Amino acid sequence: MSGVFKPATRQLILALSKGRIFEDTLPLLEAAGIRVTENPETSRKLILDTSDPDVRVIIVRASDVPTYVQYGAADFGVAGKDVLLEHGGEGLYQPIDLNIARCRMSVAVHAGFDYETAVRQGARLRVATKFVQTAREHFAAKGVHVDLIKLYGSMELAPLVGLSDAIVDVVSTGSTLRANNLVEVEKIMDISSRLVVNQAALKLKRERLQPILAAFERASRIEK
């Protein structure tokens, strides 16, 4: 028999999505002394090793991160506030705003559409979005009647082809809106990504998780 016995409470799985969340989490992991040794873009692997034999990273869709963490298939993960609001917080502990993948959730319309007048006149608006919960709450709070149309991406297209009057989407530089002749008419909220931790893992794996959480906390504070 070879190898060292490792109790399951030492093994950690971190759920990340490819792209900006993966890239922006790497420096935080490095602050915790953890280096991801494989590149998900080139390797096509979904389970990545790190320099710490107890820590592995799984690659999932951005909107699936809360699900993996909620069910304990991952011990912790990184997800945008937009995604977390849609998913709901059940089974998830959200200790740290990592201040990464920052953007805002906004309402946008075609440049030729008079949103203010439509709202003032009490028109019923068709709104296309991936973020139906957030959109529903926003328009309900304003007292605006909306028909929500659920999309999974390319929201900017909807007003251009007459699918909707408005969209609710995330905006950062505004260049996607500009490129499609849309204008931002209302900011709903600022968005950033949060660390989410499985509530059972937080108790059972506290010894291993705590130093990583502390390093993430320090690094996300210093960087911004």
| 170 binding ligand ATP? (CB under 6 A) | yes
Instruction: Give the chain's end-to-end CA distance (angstroms, integer).
Output: 49
| 39 binding ligand ATP? (CB under 6 A) | no
Answer for which of 32, 36, 62, 148 binds ligand ATP (CB under 6 A) is: 62
**Please, what is the minimum distance in Å from the beta carbon of residue 205 to ligand ATP?**
25
Size of the site for ligand ATP (CB under 6 A): 18
What type of residue is 98?
L
Write the DSSP string, 52-68: STTEEEEE--GGGHHHH
Please say which residue, 17 or 70, places its beta carbon nearer to ligand PRP: 17
CB 28 within 8 A of CB 21: no
Tokens, residue 115? 């949103």
Residue 189: beta bridge partners?
Answer: 105
**Please, what is the minimum distance in Å from the beta carbon of residue 206 to ligand PRP?**
34
| 70 binding ligand ATP? (CB under 6 A) | no
| 82 binding ligand ATP? (CB under 6 A) | yes
Residue 174 site contact among ligand ATP, ligand PRP, none (CB < 5 to 8 Å, cut-off depends on kind): ligand PRP
CB 109 within 8 A of CB 180: no
| 61 binding ligand ATP? (CB under 6 A) | yes
| 191 binding ligand ATP? (CB under 6 A) | yes
Residue whose CB is nearest to ligand ATP in the complex, by number? 80
CB 127 within 8 A of CB 168: yes
Q: With CA atoms as reference, report the closest residue to 63 among 49, 77, 48, 75.
A: 77
Residue 16: beta bridge partners?
Answer: 59
| 135 binding ligand ATP? (CB under 6 A) | no
**Site residues (vs ligand ATP, CB under 6 A):** 17, 19-21, 61-63, 80, 82-83, 101-103, 153, 170, 172, 191, 193
